[in-house]
Amino acid sequence: MIRTFIAVDLPGQVKDRIEEIIWPLKPLSRSIRWVRPEGLHLTLKFLGEIPEEQLPAIVTALEEALSGRPSFDFRLSGLGGFPNLRRPRVLWIGVPEGGEPLRTLAGTVEKALFPCGFAPEKRPFSPHLTIGRVRSPRGVEPVLERLPAIDYTSGPITAGAVKVMKSQLKPTGAEYSALKIIDLKAPANI
């Protein structure tokens, strides 16, 4: 069995900048498990534990669905939490620009994987970058008080590929590796 998800990766310099933002927040609460920089990605669909022999069908379905799909740019900006910042379970950075193409891409992934036995998500896709998971609401107030003051907006980030990712859970946190990279088509120069 392989723990698997579908994602758009981020460039190293964006991950480094986000780590600079997170670093001063880490000592403020032990109740938050922060995502390590190498683990930062935009999840399009979480598949969970799948049999390894199902992987070729998943890859084929995605390659067919994404063939000719153009790449696009998006930006990260604004910090928040799900379900809200009063009692968050997840801390995130939003996608105020390029969110609609990400929603469309996630919808394409959903439709492609339905015949492979993956039910559509019950909630609508909300583009975001998870930066931390709240283990307990106790002691998170110092972090939540600082989040609104953090002013971060990335430059344009190109979603140029969709990755089928493997997630290995370890005591030190999840480790991710790409099982397959499906390139999106570069837009034609005008």
3-state secondary structure of 71: coil
- Catalytic residue, from 8, 10, 62, 128: name it: 128
* pTM, 2 dp: 0.87
* pLDDT above 90: percentage of residues in the chain: 59
Of 136, 146, 125, nearest in space to 42 by CA: 125
Q: Is 23 among the catalytic positions?
A: no
Task: Please check whether residue 186 is in contact with residue 160, taking contact to mean a CB–CB distance below 8 angstroms.
Answer: yes
pLDDT at 189: 57
Is residue 72, in this structure, part of any structural domain at all?
yes
Q: Alpha helices, DSSP H only, in the chain? A: 12-22, 55-66, 99-113, 141-146
Summarize pLDDT for 141-164 with one digit per residue, the tens: 999 988 888 888 999 999 999 999
Angle at 113 between CA 119 and CA 167, to 5 degrees: 90
189 occurs within a structural domain:
no
In this prediction, residue 11 carries a pLDDT of 93
Residues 20-64: pLDDT tens digits?
Answer: 999 999 999 889 999 888 889 999 999 999 999 999 999 999 999
Both structure tokens of 135 = 């283990």
Candidate list 41, 45, 163, 166, residue with the active-site label: 41
Q: What is the pLDDT, as a whole number, of residue 187?
A: 66
Domain count, the chain: 1
The reply to whether 41 belongs to the active site is yes
Instruction: Give the CATH number, domain containing residue 117.
Output: 3.90.1140.10
